[in-house]
Amino acid sequence: MRSNIDAAVSSGRLAQADADACLSFMGGKRQLSCSTYVLAKTGSLPHLAHDEGFLATDRTMTAIGMDIPLDNKTAEMYED
What pLDDT is attached to residue 19? 97
Residue 13: phi and psi, rounded to 5, are -75, -15
What is the model's pTM? 0.85
pLDDT of residue 68: 86
- Residue 36 falls inside a structural domain: yes
Residue 25 lies in a domain: yes
Task: Report pLDDT for 73.
Answer: 76
- Residue 68 in any domain: the answer is no
Question: Does position 77 have pLDDT exceeding 70, yes or no?
Answer: no
Domain count of the fold of the chain = 1
Nearest to 56 by CA among 3, 2, 7, 15: 15
Cβ neighbours for 72, distance < 8 A, ≥ 6 positions apart: 39, 42, 43, 44
* Per-chain mean pLDDT for the chain: 90
Q: For residue 22, give its domain range.
A: 2-63
| pLDDT (0 to 100) of residue 10 | 97
How long is the chain?
80
Would you say 3 and 48 are in contact if contact means Cβ atoms under 8 Å apart? Answer: no
pLDDT at 65: 95
Q: Is 74 within the bounds of a domain?
A: no
Residue 40 in domain: yes
